[in-house]
């Protein structure tokens, strides 16, 4: 037993040196305790594009109506239980003017990379501190995320 404890300590020490002590605490995406927000350990510097694979989303000035319609259908199933189209908070923040407040990259990264964003992105963390319910990752595809963004634009008055 003693031997086990000693070797465990050695192992932990080794990990600590190697990973600067942070590595062991990072939850595997999607496996964090249900609903209980964890204190963000490492907050990245604010990046208006957020954290995730979307770093350059090209958005034409005019609305793509067919894409927005698809986005509306996805939203009705997966988003609008918790978000209102007005500026009122329901479970999550209201969507009004969200496309004016956030970059398309930030929104799409938040939709698809929810866990990491809630962990590290200062803006997402601020939001969580208000809502206190972690946004569920609703497993949208990249395409669906883009469609939802287009629908948000439509709601915000883009023609």
Site residues (CB under 8 A) for another protein? 1, 4, 30-31, 34-37, 76-78, 80-86, 88, 90-91, 132-134, 136-140
Q: How far is the CB of 30 from another protein (least distance, A)?
A: 5
Rounded to whole angstroms, how far apart are CA atoms 122 and 48?
10
Give the residue with the Cβ less far from another protein, 83 or 154: 83
Q: How far is the CB of 34 from another protein (least distance, A)?
A: 6
- Please give the span between the terminal C-alpha atoms of the chain, in angstroms, as a whole number: 70
Q: How far is the CB of 148 from another protein (least distance, A)?
A: 13
CB burial of 119-153 (b: ≥16 within 10 Å; e: otherwise) equals bbbebbbebbeebeebbebbebeeebbbbbbbbbb
Rounded to whole angstroms, how far apart are CA atoms 118 and 136?
10
Give the residue with the Cβ less far from another protein, 31 or 42: 31
Q: How far is the CB of 14 from another protein (least distance, A)?
A: 14
């Amino acid at each position: 037993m003693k031997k086990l404890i000693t070797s465990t300590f050695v192992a932990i020490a080794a990990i600590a040196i190697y990973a600067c002590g942070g590595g062991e605490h990072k939850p595997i995406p999607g496996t964090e305790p249900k609903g209980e927000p964890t204190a963000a350990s490492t907050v990245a510097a604010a990046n208006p594009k957020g954290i995730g694979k979307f770093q350059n989303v090209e958005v034409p000035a005019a609305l793509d109506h067919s894409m927005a319609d698809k986005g509306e259908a996805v939203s009705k199933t997966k988003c609008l239980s918790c978000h209102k189209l007005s500026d009122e908070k329901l479970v999550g923040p209201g969507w009004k003017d969200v496309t004016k407040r956030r970059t398309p990259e930030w929104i799409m990264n938040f939709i698809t990379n929810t866990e990491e964003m809630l962990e590290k992105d200062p803006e997402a963390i601020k939001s969580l501190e208000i809502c206190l319910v972690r946004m569920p990752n609703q497993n949208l595809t990249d395409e669906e995320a883009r469609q939802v963004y287009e629908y948000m634009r439509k709601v915000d008055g883009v023609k």
